[in-house]
Chains A and B, each alone.
Chain A
Amino acid sequence: MSEDIKSYTISIYTENNIGLLNRVSAIFQRRHINIESLTTSQSEIEGVNRFVIVVNICENQAKKIVGQFEKQIEVIKAYYHTEDETIFTESCMFKIKSELLFEEPQIQNIIKESNTRIVTVNKEFFVLEKSGRRHEIEALRRDLNVFGIMQFVRSGRIAVTKDEMRITEMLDAFNN
């Protein structure tokens, strides 16, 4: 198994219970693994949550920690995937002084060319939102930074996998 450090996306399907985030993060902490990003939300199944976690580790570690997640009582199933095996995106928001929109015509070009959405505009500031790959968001941030950014925030990665997860079958098997 490869010992190369890669970016792995860990997907964990869980029951929606208090304290589970603590259990999940403790597994990383105990092994001294830094979490690059973590997102948790409702999954495609009612009442089932999905964690999407990005970590830079080797495959051997990825396999072992997936085993540790699955060992948790309230974890239904966990997976690890490489970037190639997932479709993923991040989103970000910028808050910028409104006057710049008129003083710096280039900003309008940047917005158009990068497919960035204007969320709101008022007298003081306007807000941009963009989804995409990290390098696209980074490029946009660099471009806008020249003019001054009041606030910038980027979400963790969200990802769906190319292969099937078969969680519903698993849960159906319990009920039958």
Chain B
Amino acid sequence: MDTQTIKQNKSVANKTERITGSEAVIRCLIEEGVDVLYGYPGGAIMPVYDEIYKYQGKIHHVLTRHEQGAAHAAQGYARISGKVGVAMATSGPGATNLVTGIADAQIDSTPLVCITGQVFSHLLGSDAFQETDIVGISTPVTKWNCQVTKASEIPEVLAKAFYIAKSGRPGPVLIDITKDAQVSELDFQYKKCTGIRSYIAVPKIKSDAVKAAADLINNAKKPMIVWGQGVILGEAENELKAVMEKAGIPSAWTILGASAIPTSHPLNIGMVGMHGNYAPNKLTNECDVLIAIGMRFDDRVTGNLATYAKQAKIVHFDIDPAEIDKNVKTDVAVIGDAKDSLAQLLPLLNETKHESWLQEFKDLYQIEFEKVIKHDIHPEKEGLTMGEVLKQINIESEGKAAIVSDVGQHQMIACRYADFNVTKSNITSGGLGTMGFALPAAIGAKMAAPDREVVAIIGDGGYQMNIQELGTIFQQQVPVKIVVLNNEFLGMVRQWQQLFFDKRYASTEMVNPDFVTIAKGYHIEACKVVKREELADAVKEMIASKKSYFLEVCVEKEDNVFPMIPTGASVSDVRLS
């Protein structure tokens, strides 16, 4: 008897059915509750597409215009819903085009299952047409990957794929299926995977660690929380809120943690990191206990590690043991699920308020308001700012929109100024910084959450990296709202050139096409704003529209995003100008 290395639920069906591998792929997806997948057909995956044709009505396939778009759309779907996003592509270039999205999902812990076709198994290694070693290529950027060469392996491998993608710290999984495995038959029976012996999805929380964390927090005079996406992935928003409120702890968020707690919460002190808020960055180096929850001390958050929170005791809650002490040495580590850990912490905490400590954050906010925020959202100069566009979107969407941002200045502005009143509302490429992410991710987000207002905020650079996905929006009639903040520059790179390269604007100026005409070419309603007095009405019309809508706002060309922690500087050296 084979040793059992995975645990599976009992099959719902008693009998097995004789079907092809390609039909089995679709049946597995349906069993896993997949209602929509994103992809692009080609030779090595055609048998599966034939089954998609037969199963239309049960599963909806969205033809993107590029496989990268499929991967990002699946990410957007996963990020807003918490469900596993599915992308599909053919072998060779189809598979390699997925890689950027997979790498993005890996670094941002997004659950994806990517299915690629592969050449016949007898051709593997022969440099066959459209053969590429996608398992080898994707190894460093997947949580798990596997090549299937026999139809009979498909149900178990796909069951494992979904379990691995979603459980514990989520991530992308790639399954490469040879064409012979797709066309040959198997006795099909589906059993969901519930455990793998070499993989501890959720480590058991140690109660003495929780106790030690509570002791540090209870004795703190100046505690500060920095939470990350772990709170959202672990659905621990309520538990976090309860902890913050009971212990009266000023709490800041990383870019991917945004929206877990509403912007308006009195203890929400803003974003940390390179372009985060002044107070939480500055006071990171003043707090006495720093409580990190579901975040990984990214270099964009910490600045120079040698001068990061050295005065503070560090408490780190994370589900991934490899994150503990990876960048910042912790005093107490609580390893486990965020929701359960915080629920265990709560009864051990003393009810406290830290009014004078909280006041320090408020005072620094006033400084940031005077020096930065006022200029950004209530500008007196002629040129439009990105911040005032966000302000209008907040007003018209009542702060309930899901903001899907791309990468660059507009992304930082979106994260800084969007009102987040609902969790899972900030969908952006945080870790990888993938330009071109937002347009396809917005498609996936809107399809996963059709009742939500989904607004993509994109720069003129990133927009043109996946602009072809306008075709997907048109064909699928996805009512996303697209806002391009056009400064005719690769703005963030230009900002760095201005600050650190003596204004040598090498290859950052963009001569752009007529974006409105392009949108109209895809039959998408479109509008362009160049003057401040046109902005409010244009945003109002966009939000009111029931269809997809494109809004171009021509903003000031050479505006900068502040505050800023220059690379290698300390968080306490955050600059306001």
Q: Which residues on A are within 8 Å of B, measured CB to CB?
A: 14-15, 18-19, 22-23, 26, 30, 46-47, 63-64, 67-68, 70-71, 73-76, 171, 174-175
Contact = CB atoms under 8 A, between A and B. Distances in A.
B5 interface: yes
A15 B198 contact: yes
A19 B139 contact: yes
A71 B320 contact: yes
B196 interface: yes
Interface in B115-153: 135-136, 139-140, 143-147
Contact of B197 (A19, A68, A71, A171): A171
B139 A174 contact: no
Nearest to B173: A73
B144 A73 contact: yes
Contacts of B197: 15, 76, 171, 174-175
A26 B140 contact: yes
Interface in B318-345: 320-322, 324-326
B430 interface: no
Which residue, of A19, A23, A73, has the highest number of chain B Cβ atoms within 10 A? Answer: A73
A22 B135 CA distance: 10
Contacts of B3: 46-47
B139 A14 contact: no
A68 B320 CA distance: 10
Contacts of A63: 325
B411 to A, nearest CB: 26
B136 A22 contact: yes
A19 B140 contact: no
Given A19-B139, A26-B139, A76 B198 contact: yes
A171 B145 CA distance: 22
19 contacts: A15-B5, A15-B198, A18-B147, A19-B146, A22-B139, A23-B139, A30-B140, A47-B3, A64-B322, A67-B326, A68-B322, A70-B322, A73-B144, A73-B198, A74-B199, A75-B198, A76-B197, A174-B197, A175-B4
A95 to B, nearest CB: 32
A18 B147 CA distance: 9
Contacts of B195: 174
Nearest to B136: A22
B164 interface: yes
Contacts of A18: 147
Contacts of B196: 73
A71 B4 CA distance: 20
A30 B5 CA distance: 29
Nearest to A47: B3
A14 B4 CA distance: 14
Nearest to B144: A73
The 8 closest A-B pairs by CB, nearest first: A67-B322, A174-B197, A76-B198, A73-B144, A73-B199, A71-B322, A26-B140, A47-B3
B198 A14 contact: yes
Majority SS at the chain A contact face = helix
A69 to B, nearest CB: 9
Contacts of A174: 7, 195, 197
Contact of B321 (A26, A46, A67, A74): A67
Contact of A73 (B143, B321, B324, B326): B143
A73 B164 contact: yes
Interface string B193-205: 0011111000000
A105 B147 CA distance: 57
A26 B5 CA distance: 24
A75 B199 CA distance: 7
Which residue, of A19, A70, A171, A174, has the highest number of chain B Cβ atoms within 10 A? Answer: A174
A73 B145 CA distance: 10
Given A26-B139, A71-B322, 4 more contacts: A19-B135, A67-B322, A68-B322, A76-B198
A15 B3 CA distance: 11
Interface in B1-36: 3-5, 7
B135 to A, nearest CB: 6
B143 to A, nearest CB: 7
A20 to B, nearest CB: 10
Contacts of A46: 3
B508 to A, nearest CB: 30
Nearest to A66: B322
A30 B140 CA distance: 9
A1 B146 CA distance: 37
Contacts of B325: 63-64
A74 B326 CA distance: 21
A10 B245 CA distance: 45
Contacts of B147: 18-19
A175 B146 CA distance: 24
A94 to B, nearest CB: 35
Nearest to A17: B146
Nearest to B326: A64
Contacts of A171: 197
Contacts of B7: 174
A1 to B, nearest CB: 9
Nearest to A68: B322
A112 B321 CA distance: 51
Nearest to A27: B140
Contacts of A68: 322
Nearest to A173: B197
A71 B169 CA distance: 10
